Amino acid sequence: MKKAIAFILLFTVMLCAKDYSKHSETISVMHTLVKKYGFERDYLEKLFSNVKVQKSALHAFLPPKKRPKRRDTRTKAQKEKAKKYYDKYGPWERYAKRKLSTYRVKNGVAFLKKYKSTFEKVEAQYGVPKEYIAAIIGIESAYGKNVGKYPVFDTLSTLAFEKNRRNKFFKKELIKFIHLSKTEKFNPKNVYGSYAGAIGLGQFMPSNYEAYGVDFNGDGRITLQKQQDAIASIANYFKKNGWRKGEPVATRVKYEGMRFTKYKTGYTTTYHRKDLKGITPYVPWNYHDKVRLIKLKKKKYDELWYGAKNFFVITRYNHSAYYAMSVHQLAMLITEKMKEE
């Protein structure tokens, strides 16, 4: 009986594994790695000969019509609870409940205290406030507690070679990742990350790892699973994307009515404040550059904010106004909590 179970388990693993070494696209990737980065072809062929296909990661990048339908296994009570939740809250409220939890605030304060010396040095060098760096790490990986459970090499190989809407992007990321394994001296089979192949406390894609990663602890490697390197790398990312030291990020504003439709909203559209009639900040705001109008859709009304240049910089990390606002608000909540202690 035990032998039969062992055989079934082995057979299941074999079914999940795939030999990509003879795949035409893989051959092209190996050619680049050999010619550009000096890899041995035998090493690469062995690496790609046993890839565990990450089906759940692939599912996220298939066109909606081609995604296999997942059976709804919720009970009637669970479905009713979910409906009540969606009836009670608007899009921003649902988003904020996930991103701005008491857990993230409390642990953000603890994380700042634990790595106080690193944060102070990084803030002095890069000009990015420590609370914003901590907020990114809190939202991305729960301060390092959840850096991802997907094997990055297998995930990127799956997404590079199995047909999906972003094959070209993931092929480039796979090449970058394998190159990084050489420069930073790690086994590509031993690194785990997100379903998209993002790595470390700040969840950097391999191309960003290479472009913005910093060896801040001075051990000769850029290791984004280590707190010091991750903190400095996020600050470096912000600085290189235009962060302005000492300038604000956002402030809430007033307008007439409950729903805002007077001007176009979103982080890509900018205005001179004098041209925005009928809109004023709740508190004095000493910022004179162009602003963005950021609308947070709540159940009963729209909450409206001015977003400064630094707000736009946060959207370079994740192209979502809601994401950038959650980073800003979490940073503010962490700051307030720090003052109380």
Gap between the terminal Cα atoms of the chain: 60
Distance, C-alpha 231 to centroid of its chain: 14
Map tokens 């106080």 to a residue.
Answer: 116
The answer for 88, left when phi > 0, alpha when psi is -120 to 50, beta otherwise, is: alpha
Tokens at 10, concatenated: 């082995």
Spatial neighbors of 258 by CB under 8 A, at least 6 apart, are: 300, 301, 302
Identified catalytic residue from 123, 131, 140, 162: 140
What is the C-alpha separation between 56 and 38, in angstroms, rounded? 33
Map tokens 């642990």 to a residue.
Answer: 107
Distance, C-alpha 183 to centroid of its chain: 23
Q: Which of 96, 138, 130 is nearest to 113 (CA)?
A: 130
- Please, what's the b/e burial string for 208-230 (b: 16 or more CB within 10 A of its CB; e: otherwise)? bbbebbbbbbeeeebbbbbbbbb
Looking at this protein, which amino acid is placed at residue 307? G
In the residue annotation, 140 being an active-site residue is answered as yes
Catalogue the active-site residues.
140
